[in-house]
A and B are shown apart, each in its own frame.
Chain A
Amino acid sequence: MEKTAVHKASMPVNTYRLIQIVLGVVFSAYVIWRFYDVFIGNPAYGADTWMRFAISGVVLGSVYALVAIGYTLVYGILFMINFAHGDIMMIGAFGGYFVFEALKNIPSPTVGDPHQVFLNAHPIISVILAFVVGMIVAAVSGYFLEKIAYRPLRNAPRLVPLISAIGASIFLENAALLLFGSQRRDFVNPVQLTRGTGWNIPVNGTTVILPYTGVLTFVLSVLILIALYLLVQRTRIGRAMRAVAENKSTAALMGIDVDGVISRTFIISGALAGAAGVMWGIHLGLVYYQVGFIPGIKAFTAAVLGGIGNIPGAMLGGMFLGIIEALGPAILGLPFQLKDVLAFGILVLILIFRPTGLLGEVLSEEKV
């Protein structure tokens, strides 16, 4: 009885390998053919279009990366998906929105323009304020989210905090709906940062616009990512976080306040999501109660792509996903409507070939 069971068990594993190989060959052949077709065989797009795709993808990717890091930090420490992370991003976006709305109503008359408002008179201070407020609001929400919905479940089976997180996500989304209403609000930027304006780059006879908001988003997210990396690698807090991620009980024995570290992790990941929310608002210009849902899911996908629990992996995964969404349909010749299908399809493929993601260590299966 026992023996036959073992034999049976080994059979599907071989089948699985076979599926891997066949899928791999078919998929690579298809991609190579598409690359050939779209660049050499039948070039459908000029260099200008490719540049526009790339700009769109990189900016989107940098936002995904920021949100993805929040998932990865929490996962690295608690081994749970913080399903409500996208909604924390939404809260941050609302924070930034209200700052801009308030500053828009503060008069700041100058000699040249008596109707000047604070927002346009001091754009740099306004943007900084929006980021600070957005990040603080989101960080505080992250803190309370952990305290109320996750901390009591520290030792529960893994499904339990995940479901609690799904509940928290539904709650936050609908609380925002009831508080702020269902309409999509415009994130009114300082006039200097008007969406759609930017540096004009002449390519191929036309001009490609490199938007200011996009550059701001990209540069800021790179800076934040570097700061975070230094924080995790070089500071005491970072060391404590890594220790807790490695082994909670040992860390506690070494005198680390585990609950405190977890709280701090949520605060940091909340602040990152808040920054991402404000960026989303500034670059794309919309806030409403569901604004965090799709980026949240995408960012989680990105975190898994990069190898969840791994910070550089999350950055890479975010960028990769953003670029795939912008360039993938064009290269593979799919309608753009199917870009989400493509994103999830790539996720499934990666998980089939590398279940631990692009940069994930090959952990024993327990951890995955």
Chain B
Amino acid sequence: MNKQINNGFRTGLIFGIINIFLILIGFPMVAGTIIKDAIHNDSTVLLGLNADILDMLIFMGLIGLWAGASGGRRLKGEVDTWLDALASSASSGFTNGLLVGGLAYLLGALNDAGVRISVYLAAILPATIKQLLLGKNTLDGALLEFGFLFVTGLLGGALGFALRGQWRKALGDWWKKIWSGFVNSAWVRKIRSHPLFMPAVYALGLVILYIIPQEAGKYWNYTLGTVGIYVLLGLGLNVVVGFAGLLDLGYVAFFAIGAYTVALLTAPNPHHLMWSFWVALPIGIVLAAAAGILLGIPVLRMRGDYLAIVTLGFGEIIRILATSDLLTPFSGGPKGVSAIGGPTLFGKPFSSDKDFVYLIMIGILLTIFVTTQLRSSRVGRAWEAMREDETVARAMGINTLTHKLMAFAIGAAFAGLGGVLFASRNQFTGPEDHNLMVSINVLSVVIVGGMGSIPGVIAGAFALKGLPEVLREVQDYRVLFFGALLVIMMIWRPEGLWPSSRRSMELGKADDNAKKNSGAPGGKP
């Protein structure tokens, strides 16, 4: 019994601290407005509480339930009876409620005393405190808050106990049965083994890819385009980080070079060159790749961490130089370059958001093709060896220097392509588009998706660039969650959402490799 209470206390403490943090950054109130949008539109008044307070309470209640349910979670096999479960959840709910209620009381009392808390804590406006105290006076409100969390904690414990173990297992078994029954059924096997199956899937995929931009509205096409550009960037960085294991924190530099190339070559200002997009595109890619090699040379002999900081510095240098007075006449300076030319197709402009989605899709397909080919080639295996152990790789006769340069150049080329498409689509580029956050976002895409995994990168770009666009209510909090997500991913799932399964690749692709690389003596036995 003591054990359960202790454990509940510890859980409650953690939940209470997280709760306090969330309140101090004003999250429950924002979550409340999302709940409001989701469940009702007009201001319903229930139990004498107005809608804002009610919606905030729904969110707080969910956390309270969770706190109660996890009260006994960590004691495996020791929460056997209702009494145990209730003891741990009561203790957890009590602690959680005490902390939050205490905070509410403290804030209320300070507010009553005339202290302007929002000067120091930006999210704690007088209205927020009122909401936190459920519209009551300080003491009543704090007690109610405490009671509410205590009760939801108990409820959570009861719910968690009632739904323990077997329910989840039964659901899992049922799903597994359905799925394997489907995959192994005769007609599915028959279809899958048909020689036209893969071509049909490809064709279907292409048709779908063609249809989406036609059907999606302007906003969705724009969002799709942004996500697509991040897929491109992610695939490029994936070559450097995922395949070759070189941590590049200055990836934005190559993106910027691509963007500025197309900007300076096609825009009326500052140079009035007005070249065609189709000429600027390869130049941008080549220049970015050249910059990749240029950066590669001095950092060739560095490893890991040194590389990270030098590449980070390189990214900053490019940005500072682009803004600097020295280069303003050349680069447009802090104002950036506007009226960047878009592509034309058979003499007609091909530069609406929809058209760009197609262009970006072609770019992605090309990138996927190149990277899959590379990965299964000798170069790809050399990278992999280098990533796993550089000294051994060198001892095996792999020329690590040229392979590193190659990884840099190829990664940079894709970033350049991304930059060209990005600048041309926005018709504008400026130094703010090329700050360190871009490098970090792209890195996050690769990491969250799964290093070295191509579908992972795509999934990562949708998750990190697409979701925040859809959930704009939480925009103030998205970067915070980004950060937390990176840490959590590293702890729970360092391989990413969609890990590359090297094993399945090696086995599944063995035939293809043999076919494609039959000319070159490979490392195969």
Contacts from A to B (Cβ < 8 Å):
1-2, 5-6, 8-9, 12-13, 16, 19, 75, 79-81, 98, 101, 148-149, 152-153, 156-164, 166-175, 178-182, 297, 300-301, 304, 308, 335, 337-338, 340-341, 343-345, 347-348, 351-352, 355, 365-366, 368
Chain B interface, >50% SS class: helix
Which of chain A's residues have a CB closer than 8 A to the CB of B486? 163-164, 166-168, 170
Set B21, B314, B479, B490: member contacting A164, Cβ < 8 A:
B490
The answer to whether B122 and A178 touch across the interface, beta carbons within 8 angstroms, is: yes
Contact string, B103-127, partner A, CB cutoff 8 A, digits 1/0?
0000000000000000011110000
Set B304, B306, B400: member contacting A355, Cβ < 8 A:
B306
Output the least CB separation between B290 and chain A (Å): 16
Known: A159-B245, A174-B480, A344-B316. A365 touches B310 (CB 8 A): no
- Considering only CB atoms, which chain A residue lies closest to B405 in the complex? A12
Which of chain A's residues have a CB closer than 8 A to the CB of B488? 167
Output the least CB separation between A192 and chain B (Å): 25
Set B313, B391, B443, B451: member contacting A301, Cβ < 8 A:
B313
Which of B80-88, B143-151, B261-269, B292-300 is the contact stretch?
Answer: B292-300
Output the least CB separation between A81 and chain B (Å): 5
The answer to whether the Cβ of B278 comes within 8 Å of any Cβ in the partner chain is: no
Contact string, B302-318, partner A, CB cutoff 8 A, digits 1/0?
11111011101110110
The answer to whether B325 and A170 touch across the interface, beta carbons within 8 angstroms, is: no
Output the least CB separation between B111 and chain A (Å): 16
The answer to whether A170 and B479 touch across the interface, beta carbons within 8 angstroms, is: yes
The answer to whether B305 and A16 touch across the interface, beta carbons within 8 angstroms, is: no
- Considering only CB atoms, which chain A residue lies closest to B389 in the complex? A366
Known: A153-B490, A179-B25. A351 touches B480 (CB 8 A): no
The answer to whether A160 and B494 touch across the interface, beta carbons within 8 angstroms, is: yes
Size of the B side of the interface (Cβ < 8 Å), in residues, is 62
The answer to whether the Cβ of B195 comes within 8 Å of any Cβ in the partner chain is: no
The answer to whether A368 and B479 touch across the interface, beta carbons within 8 angstroms, is: no
18 contacting pairs across A/B (C-beta < 8 A): A1-B397, A1-B521, A8-B399, A9-B398, A16-B300, A19-B297, A163-B447, A166-B443, A167-B485, A168-B486, A170-B480, A300-B309, A337-B324, A338-B324, A340-B316, A347-B309, A348-B313, A368-B306
The answer to whether the Cβ of B484 comes within 8 Å of any Cβ in the partner chain is: yes
- Please report which residues of chain B, range 117-174, place their CB below 8 angstroms from some CB of chain A when the two chains form the complex: 120-123
Q: By CB atoms of chain B within 10 A, which of A163, A175, A352 has the most?
A: A163
The answer to whether the Cβ of B100 comes within 8 Å of any Cβ in the partner chain is: no
Which of chain A's residues have a CB closer than 8 A to the CB of B443? 163, 166
Which of chain A's residues have a CB closer than 8 A to the CB of B300? 12, 16
The answer to whether B490 and A344 touch across the interface, beta carbons within 8 angstroms, is: no
The answer to whether B490 and A81 touch across the interface, beta carbons within 8 angstroms, is: no
Set B320, B482, B483, B494: member contacting A156, Cβ < 8 A:
B494
The answer to whether A355 and B399 touch across the interface, beta carbons within 8 angstroms, is: no
